[in-house]
Structure 1
Amino acid sequence: MSNCAVDITLMGRTYSIACPKGQEQALQSVARQLEQQLEQIKARTPNLSREDMVLMAALNIGHELYVEQRKNQDYMQQMDDRIRLLQHTLEQALVERSHRED
């Protein structure tokens, strides 16, 4: 898949970012969310350097990702548990059915 260049603006600077074709809107959406995070951080702590603001935003986004990954893992574990319960229930029903047929 080929790449294209997407211009995004963060903290008043425009960056040209290589992006796989078809993913331009996703990159722009992520850039908007990052810009919002940076604006919020700047509003709360205006004395931070650009680098510190970017670091704080990266930590915030990393934490959000971690929380979502944990939720996903918990959900997958719940689904695995339900599937095992369903399999056990089906196996029990088949055993009971075979005993009745004997």
Structure 2
Amino acid sequence: MTQPNTVTLQILDKEYCISCPADQRSNLESAARYLDGKMREIRSGGKVIGADRIAVMAALNITHDLLHKQQRLDKEVNSTRERVRDLIDQVDDALAIDQDERPN
């Protein structure tokens, strides 16, 4: 029987009881399913033996994916900032031209 703030998770055929706030339960369960899937992929590849080694390889793969996505997101943010600056410059130029064409 689990306590109200405890979640029981299955990862690579092992059961883990984790304390977790109720509002984070769904996220934790999703994370456990994702990790379980990654660990099963590695285990089925047959090149890594032992739950500890499989866990480390899964952690490295997940971290690599996370860092790669973060780098891509950073590039997109920088690109968006540049586009916004260009648009602001265009608006400023248009307003300056409009001011120059107005009679005094």
Q: With structure 1 as the length reference, what TM-score do the two structures score?
A: 0.91
- For structure 2, the residue ranges without an aligned partner over 5 or more in a row are none
Aligned partner of 1:23: which letter?
Q
- For structure 1, the residue ranges without an aligned partner over 5 or more in a row are none
Number of residue equivalences: 100
RMSD of aligned alpha carbons: 1.5
Matched with 1:53 is: 54
Higher strand share: 1
Please report how far the alpha carbon of residue 21 of structure 1 lies from its aligned counterpart in structure 2 after TM superposition.
2.2
Alignment of 1:17-36 (within 5 A): 17-36=18-37
Matched with 2:43 is: 42
Between 1:42-51 and 1:4-13, the stretch displaced more is: 42-51
Aligned partner of 1:45: which letter?
G
Matched with 2:69 is: 68
Matched with 2:80 is: 79
Q: With structure 2 as the length reference, what TM-score do the two structures score?
A: 0.89
Aligned partner of 2:59: which letter?
A
Which consecutive aligned stretches of 4+ in structure 1 deviate over 2 angstroms post-superposition?
none
**What percentage of aligned pairs have identical amino acids?**
26
